[in-house]
Amino acid sequence: MFSEKQVIEGCLKGDKLSQKALYNRFAGKMLAICKRYLKDLEYAEDAFQDAFVKVFANLNKFSFQSTLETWMTRIFINEAINKLRSLKKLSLNIHIDDVSYQLAENKHELPDNFDYDLVMILLEKIPENYKIVLMMYAIDGYNHKEIAEKLNMPESTSRSSLTRARHILWQLYNNELIKHESRRI
């Protein structure tokens, strides 16, 4: 198996085996990232293809200051967001003056373990505007300044959207737990 540096060097030289190795190494995870942002598989696949073209076209700009996976993840997230914008599904006209939500302040009310699969299913029920901010912050590790820049919004809107997304997710999760408990009785 080739090292990351060998694969990159091979790709830069136009070596087809290196390009295939890069694609095979990251395709599954990168498609999953696109699917997280784009519900429609066809749109996710379009963003995935466009992002891989950008990866190969810009690989010479990779500076080894992060892992290749981290660098690529940013490209795939950006491409998915661009696809959302082009579909006009990402409308980020959220006003900070709207009613804000707060999570329970009592830490003992939070469950010790979350059911990951359930959370991912419930994430799809959150309004798109809030879901994008939540995913960028909690899953992909962007800070509020980066989110604000990527989504062309004030930082305060990013913070507010994250709070609302957490609240909605928390409510959905609690509702599912209540349904599950009532079935057991």
Phi and psi angles of residue 91, each rounded to the nearest 5 degrees, phi first: -110, 110
Confidence of residue 124 (pLDDT cuts 50, 70, 90): confident
Residue 121 is predicted with a pLDDT of 82
Whether residue 152 has pLDDT greater than 90: no
Q: What's the CATH code, domain 107-184?
A: 1.10.10.10
Residue 46 is predicted with a pLDDT of 94
Confidence of residue 54 (pLDDT cuts 50, 70, 90): very high
Whether residue 103 has pLDDT greater than 60: no
Residue identified by tokens 């073209």 is 53
Per residue in 154-181, pLDDT (tens digit) is 999 999 999 999 999 888 888 887 776 7
pTM for this one?
A: 0.68
The correct CATH number of 4-86 out of 3.90.1150.10, 1.10.3720.10, 1.10.1740.10, 2.60.120.10 is: 1.10.1740.10
Q: What is the DSSP string of 90-151?
A: ------TTSPP----S-GGGS-SS--HHHHHHHHTTS-HHHHHHHIIIIIT---HHHHHHHH
Quick one: average pLDDT of 36-45?
A: 90
User: Which residues, including other chains, have CB under 8 Å from residue 76's CB and lie 6 or more apart?
Assistant: 30, 33, 34, 47, 48, 51
Domain ranges in the chain?
4-86, 107-184
